[in-house]
Chains A and B, each alone.
Chain A
Amino acid sequence: MNMNMLKKGDFLIIGIVMVAVVFSFVYISHYRKADNGAHKVAIIKVKDKVVKSIDLDTVTEPQRIEISGEYNQVVLVENGRIRFVEAECPDKVCVNTGWLSDKGDMAVCIPNSAMIKIEGQSQKVDAVTH
């Protein structure tokens, strides 16, 4: 290839374009992250009223939250996940649901009319048909 065809200004143009590429790449990947990685927010509802709303991504240390009601419960919150850890209800379905860590996950204690849900659209599918 004939390298003496290139002139000074060409390198300037090439340089500008490369800078633009880097800039747009950085900007776009930052923007994408903010969109896809929006914080996981868990809400705790008792009798259909939101009692607490927690941004799971900002949790640094495990927290225990007590919920009172017909049956007392304890909710355990850790970074990125949440669960019912203790409950006085007879079935303990809520506790047995285990950790909620993805958007859309939820656990319910029907006797106590309490539930935890991580807001957002669930990205897992329940069923697929063809």
Chain B
Amino acid sequence: MNNTKRIVILGLMVALALVLSIIESWFPVPLPVPGVKLGLANIITITVIIFYDFKDAVSVVFIRCILASIFGGGVTGFLFSISGGILSTVVMYLLYKRGSKLFSTIGISIAGAVLHNIAQIVIASIIMKDTAVYFILPVLLISGLIMGFFVGLCSGFLEKAIRNTKIFD
């Protein structure tokens, strides 16, 4: 693929991920638990994983986390989102590349969402030096399951739509 085209599209992906993050902040959170979120930006992450390689996926995640924390969220926000983001990206990439026959985007997304939340709790417990944060683990796991399902579903639809447009052929 033309390198310029790749750079442009990846840049677009970063922008889309940021927009999705902003939009999801408009939605009321079902539970007042820190860390419960839609994770819509992961739709982008999964899409990049599908159509590009690992380097690109990590770059997109990394850059969007930096920009997101600059726009609002601060350094701790960055720490939280990058830890969850990188871990979930790595695992989602592995699951997709090795097991796209076994796992649909839904399963991959659920795995990514759950791990993302787990990583965030771990970071939180390190920062607060308190293991009490683990009390919200069950809630976060369930939230990851549900949100991951939704995000995975969207990713699946998006993948089909993108393949139809043949941008990447």
Chain B residues near A6: list those with CB within 8 A.
104, 106-107
B107 touching A14 by the CB < 8 A rule?
yes
Across the interface, do A18 and B153 meet the contact criterion of CB distance under 8 Å? Answer: no
Contacts of A24 in B (CB 8 A): 134, 137-138, 141
Contacting A at CB under 8 A, from B113-163, are 114, 134-135, 137-138, 141-142, 144-145, 153, 156
- Please report the total number of B residues contacting A with Cβ < 8 Å: 21
C-alpha spacing A130/B35, complex, angstroms: 33
Interface residues of A in 1-46 (CB under 8 A from B): 1-2, 5-14, 17-18, 20-21, 24-25, 28, 32
Q: Looking at chain A, what size class is its interface with the partner chain?
A: 20 to 34
Contact of A14 among B99, B101, B145 (CB under 8 A): B145
Would B111 and A13 count as touching, CB distance under 8 A?
Answer: yes
**Complex contact A1–B153 (CB within 8 A):** yes
B108 to chain A, nearest CB (A): 8
Interface of B is mostly: helix
- 14 A-B residue pairs with CB within 8 Å: A1-B153, A7-B101, A7-B103, A8-B102, A9-B103, A10-B107, A12-B107, A13-B111, A17-B114, A17-B141, A20-B141, A21-B141, A28-B135, A28-B138
- A sample of 11 more A-B contacts (CB under 8 A), given A8-B102, A14-B145, is A2-B153, A5-B104, A5-B105, A5-B153, A7-B103, A9-B103, A10-B103, A10-B110, A17-B114, A17-B141, A32-B135
Question: Which B residues have a C-beta under 8 Å from some C-beta of A?
Answer: 99, 101-107, 110-111, 114, 134-135, 137-138, 141-142, 144-145, 153, 156
Residues of A within 8 A of B (CB): 1-2, 5-14, 17-18, 20-21, 24-25, 28, 32
